[in-house]
Each structure stands twice: as C-alpha cells, then as structure tokens.
C-alpha cells in the first residue's frame, strides 16, 4: 500500500528500531545523507520563520490531507493522519528531500533547515520522538486568510474529501458494489482535477504550488494503489 511514509523517521524513530539506532557507533553527523534521502521533514510552527524569510516556499511543500495514510513513528504503523500535515517535498518521484544535494551530500538550506532536521540525530532520536505530531502547521497557518485560494481549498475539501477516498478503497477491497464504487472514485478524480484546473487557469495559481495547495492529485493516489482511472 502506498503511503506518505516519511521513511527516515521509520528507520530512525520507531520503537522497534530504536535499539538498532542506539547501536550506531557515533555521536556526530557524518553527512551520509541517509535521513535526507529518505524524505523531508514535517513542518512545525517553529518553522514559520524560514517560510517568512523566503528560504522555503510553497513550491517546496506538499500537503498530506486529513485522512491520508502516513507513517506514525510513535505507534510504528501506517494510519490515516488525524489532521493535515505540511511537509517538505521530494524530488519528482523520489522521496529524497528537495533540498538535498547528492553531489555534495549536503543540505542546501542547512543554516535554515526545519526544526525536525535540526533535532534529528540518527544515533539518538529521543528529541525527535518528543516532537512527532506536536505543533505541526496546516495550510491555513501559512496562507493569507484573504487569499481567494482559501475558498477553493475549502471547496476542494468538501467536494473531494480524502476520507471518502479511503472509504471507497476499503469498500473496493471488500468487493462490495464494485462498479458503483469505481464510478464514485472516477467522479472524485474528475472533481479534483476540475478544481485544480480552475485554480490554475482562473485564479492564476502557480502550478508549482499545486501540491501544497491541494495535496497529491487523486488520480495519482489511485494509480499508486493499483486502481485504474479514466481521465477522459
Ligand atoms: S531540509 Fe535539509 S536537512 Fe532537512 S531533510 Fe531536507 S536536505 Fe535534509
């Protein structure tokens, strides 16, 4: 199953691997890049400053919508998120953080890296574990409330609630009402695309902001779960 798994937290934070982590024989970062290659951080209110200062922009972010599966490092399981999360985007199809420079194995915003990155020590994850799920930001925290896109986000959440997608996927896996379920999923995909199109063409939303404003397109969510989608 696809999930918004922030795998570096999976490898370094969960209880079942903590013992392994504690066995890492070092007390400083050796810039191996493993943590950055496995995914960017979730943002917290403490990170607003780096956004306001322009070190990180909407084009670097992706929203994990309420109800979307994500890895919970405290419970060591994948489960729907209880509230939306905003995290640093990967590179195209990879999870590798968009700010990680593989050639130099370094963070291109190191002086301004987010809180989770500052607290992450792969040899001692206790500080990071205390932070998981606390004081995280949502889109509304970093979008001007008077921006017309806020109304479009509300409409998107009402018309294409992520929770319903998961319910329909569960119903598909149980084999109940398959054609009806697929028809509703297709309807949600079409609405999702129509709202994105409207925001870009009519409101002038920059395409590079789309993943932050609306999260991942539903057709991508479904195709990653092996569900064929008719876009025509
Ligand atoms: S922001 Fe920098 S330190 Fe944090 S995951 Fe990305 S590349 Fe690594």
pLDDT at residue 232, rounded to an integer: 59
Q: Are 135 and 45 in contact (CB under 8 A)?
A: yes
pLDDT one-digit tens code per residue, 49-106: 999 999 999 999 999 999 998 766 666 677 788 899 999 999 877 778 999 998 998 9
Tell me if 100 CB under 6 Å of ligand 1: yes
pLDDT at position 19 over 60: no
Q: Report the alpha-carbon angle 151-153-154, nearest 5.
A: 65
pLDDT one-digit tens code per residue, 96-141: 899 999 899 899 999 999 999 998 877 777 777 788 888 999 999 9
Has residue 163 been placed in a domain? yes
- The structural domain count of the chain equals 2
Has residue 85 been placed in a domain? yes
Ligand 1 atom with the shortest distance to the CA of 110 = 2
Has residue 44 been placed in a domain? yes
d(CA 150, CA 103): 39
Nearest partner of 188 among 209, 153, 162, judged by Cα: 162
Beta bridge partners of 42: 87
Tell me if 222 CB under 6 Å of ligand 1: no
Whether residues 117 and 181 share a domain: the answer is no
Has residue 2 been placed in a domain? no
Whether residues 158 and 219 share a domain: the answer is yes
What is the extent of the structural domain holding 128?
7-141
Tell me which of 82, 116, 141 is where a domain ends: 141
Tell me if 8 CB under 6 Å of ligand 1: no
What's the 216 CA to ligand 1 centre distance in angstroms?
21
Percent of the chain with pLDDT over 90: 55
Whether residues 15 and 123 share a domain: the answer is yes
pLDDT one-digit tens code per residue, 129-187: 788 888 999 999 999 999 999 999 999 999 999 999 999 999 988 887 888 999 999 99
What's the 121 CA to ligand 1 centre distance in angstroms?
13
Whether residues 34 and 148 share a domain: the answer is no
Q: Are 100 and 226 in contact (CB under 8 A)?
A: no
What's the 7 CA to ligand 1 centre distance in angstroms?
13
């Amino acid at each position: 199953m696809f999930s918004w798994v922030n795998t570096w937290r999976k490898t370094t934070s969960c209880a079942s691997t903590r013992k392994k982590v504690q066995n890492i024989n070092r007390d400083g970062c050796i810039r191996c890049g493993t943590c950055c290659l496995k995914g960017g951080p979730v943002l917290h209110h403490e990170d607003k400053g780096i956004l306001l200062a322009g070190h990180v922009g909407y084009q670097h972010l992706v929203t994990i919508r309420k109800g979307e599966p994500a890895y919970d490092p405290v419970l060591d399981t994948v489960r729907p998120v209880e509230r939306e999360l905003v995290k640093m985007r990967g590179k195209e199809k990879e999870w590798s953080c968009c700010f990680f420079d593989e050639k130099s194995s370094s963070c291109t915003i190191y002086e301004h890296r987010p809180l989770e990155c500052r607290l992450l020590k792969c040899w001692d994850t206790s500080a990071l574990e205390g932070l998981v799920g606390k004081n995280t930001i949502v889109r509304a925290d970093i979008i001007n409330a008077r921006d017309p896109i806020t109304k479009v986000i509300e409409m998107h959440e009402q018309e294409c609630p992520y929770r319903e997608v998961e319910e329909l996927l569960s119903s598909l896996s149980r084999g109940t009402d398959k054609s009806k379920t697929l028809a509703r999923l297709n309807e949600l995909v079409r609405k999702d695309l129509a709202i994105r199109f409207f925001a870009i063409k009519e409101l002038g939303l920059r395409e590079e902001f789309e993943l932050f404003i609306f999260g991942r397109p539903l057709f991508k969510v479904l195709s990653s779960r092996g569900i064929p989608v008719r876009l025509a």
